[in-house]
Amino acid sequence: MLRSHATPVYLDNAATTPLCEEAARAMRPYMEAGDEAWFGNANSLHGVGRNAFVRLEDARLSVARSLKASRPDEVVFTSGATEADNAALVGMALAARDAARQRGRRVNGGHVVVSRIEHDAVLGSARMLKALGFEVSFADNDSQGRVSAGALERAMREDTLLVSIMAANNEVGTIEPVAELAQAAHERGALFHSDAVQLFGKEECFSCVLEHADAASFSAHKIGGPKGVGVLYLKTRTPFQPYLAGGGQERGLRSGTQNVAGIAGAAAAFEHYARFVEERADRMREVRDYLYEKLSECSKAVPSVAVPRGSRDFLPNIVSVCVRGWESETLIMQLDARGFCVSGGSACSSASLDPSHVLTALGIERNLAQGSVRISLGEDASIEQADAFLAAFFEVVGV
Ligand code: PLP
């Protein structure tokens, strides 16, 4: 039955989340016109600028605490995780190559390893590195998308300078063994970066990312913060060449006038998501498992990865399902018409509807992968929400 929904059921939280109350409250004063307490440029020397600087540094300290970073100056604010990923890969690879050459290590053009299931921000950065003379290899993953330390070691070489493997996948929810991967990279003299956008605030195991990685990327709008604000975590003394040329803000690491309003909102969102992680994960996991169970019972829909019940090796909020003979776009539109917001795993272009690179890397056959739907739960996840979604989904696919 088609319904007109004033408030749709939003199940696309891996794409973006609604602004949380704390973030909205933190940003509100910056939106008022004319008040000199709030509009300053954090790099100006006068009092209005110093006011903004104090708020910027308060936010940095708060984010560092939420991430459990050792020092606030390990937090570099960016325009989002796309920029953080680009800056990490290019900035670290170039700096590591220079440092290696200065030490007399034979690295030729330099070698970088990534996984096949990375976000396009990392895969695109790897392509940029190729244009800068680096060679890029892919570490193999298993049918759940997991990269083992052994697979990483096989992809590494004498001249590997940087490894980037995500902490958790945004399409199918696979959580990667970051501690072992970082150790394998370090043992062979390479730096390790991880895109941790989807893991922060979802599982306690996040804490191992900052413990082991040299750098990690985060995005505020995935955790109840505003869009257009990200964080590049850079461990002290990690080789890094600034990615953007300009005024040398962020202690020379990231040029561009800081978005203090957005950063204040981001800091509030990081604080919000750093709290009650286990309770949030338990609640989401229960709904995720319920959805998997019900979807698996339906012969037309086959989960694209089998999530073992209660599994902590997958994000608690992502369910990925493929429906044979359907295209993601059609499923999304039909569900939207019934008041449910979800995503597909397909990269749509005007000419073709290609299955996502992630599902392809998992070995899922094309005509199944083309009909993928990602359901990503939010903090309000409930069995009632899941039941309502399932009723609409089964109506659409005709079971
Ligand atoms: N990395 C991952 C894993 C993501 O899910 C996303 C968002 O889709 C990004 C990077 C890019 O983040 P942003 O929208 O902040 O640029």
Query: Does the pLDDT value for residue 6 go beyond 80?
Result: no
Bin 245: left if φ > 0, else alpha if -120 < ψ < 50, else beta: beta
- DSSP letter (8 states) at residue 314: B
Question: How many angstroms separate the alpha carbon of residue 197 from the centre of ligand 1?
Answer: 6
Q: Is residue 178 within 8 Å of residue 193, measured between CB atoms?
A: no
Task: Classify 79 as helix, strand or coil.
Answer: coil
User: What's the pLDDT band for 381 if we cut at 50, 70, 90?
Assistant: very high
State in Å: Cα 320 to ligand 1 middle: 18
Per-residue pLDDT band at 5 (split at 50, 70, 90): low
Residue 104 token pair:
């007399």
Ligand 1: residue of 85, 115, 219 to mutate (most ligand atoms within 8 A of CB) is 219
3-state secondary structure 330-395: HHHHHHHHCCEECEECCEECCCCEECCHHHHHCCCCHHHHCCEEEEECCCCCCHHHHHHHHHHHHH
**Using CA atoms, how far apart are residues 46 and 107, in angstroms rounded to an integer?**
47
Q: Taking all residues of the chain, what is their mean pLDDT, rounded to a whole number?
A: 94
Distance 319 CA to ligand 1 centre (A): 18
CA atoms within 13 A of residue 146's CA, in its CB half-sphere: 16
Ligand 1 atom nearest to 228, measured from its CA: 15
pLDDT at 350: 46
User: pLDDT by residue (tens digit) across 308-339?
Assistant: 899 999 999 999 999 999 999 999 999 999 99
- Structure token digits, residue 6: 């004033």
Mutate to test the pocket of ligand 1, among 13, 117, 119, 218 (most ligand atoms within 8 A of CB): 119
Helices (H), 118-241: 120-131, 149-155, 178-187, 207-212
CA separation (Å) from 174 to 11, 114, 166, 199, 367? 18, 15, 9, 10, 22
pLDDT (tens digit per residue) in 169-216: 999 999 999 999 999 999 999 999 999 999 999 998 889 999 999 999
User: CB neighbours of 330 closer than 8 A, spacing ≥ 6?
Assistant: none
Does pLDDT of 387 surpass 70?
yes
Its pTM surpasses 0.85: yes
